[in-house]
Amino acid sequence: MQLSNERYDQIKWFVTTFLPALSTLIAGMATLLGWPNGTLMVGIITLFTTFLGSIMNISTSSYEGDGQLIVDTSNPDKDIYSIAIDDYPSVLANKNTVMLKVKHAEEEPWQ
């Protein structure tokens, strides 16, 4: 299953901002109000946050990106950088973020 950039950003915000803030809020309220299961609730939220964060990291590392930044350092006088994109430029123009994998020209031929 592939998520849109917008959906991924929403999930990322939920995991990296909302859940840790909720955990902190519950920990503070449990302490101040004497809730008996505050540590249990915070522990469950933390485990859930860690699980989702791990899944997101796997998703991010397996994302192929939108193209490649090709770095050619074979000329001692100057480095040459070029971009090979996998889609039409108009598709990239509609995105908020573009991700390029870095490929060194001397390592292997590019695809």
The pLDDT tens digits of the residues spanning 30-69 come to: 999 999 999 999 999 999 999 998 888 766 666 677 888 8
- Residue 2 has a pLDDT of 67
- Residue 35 has a pLDDT of 93
- Residue 61 has a pLDDT of 63
Helix, strand and coil content of the chain, in percent to the nearest 5, comes to 55, 15, 30
Q: What are phi and psi of 70, to 5 degrees?
A: -100, 125
- The verdict on 73 and 58 lying in the same domain is no
What average pLDDT does range 74-101 have in this prediction? 84
In a domain, 111, yes or no: no
In a domain, 15, yes or no: yes
Q: Is the pLDDT of residue 109 over 60?
A: no
Confidence class of residue 14 from pLDDT cuts 50, 70 and 90? very high
- The verdict on 15 and 51 lying in the same domain is yes
Name which of 27, 23, 72, 18 is nearest 46 in CA terms: 23
User: Based on the structure, what is the number of domains in the chain?
Assistant: 2
In a domain, 109, yes or no: no
Most confident of the following: 2-11, 17-26, 76-85, 91-100 = 17-26
Q: Which domain holds residue 92?
A: 67-104
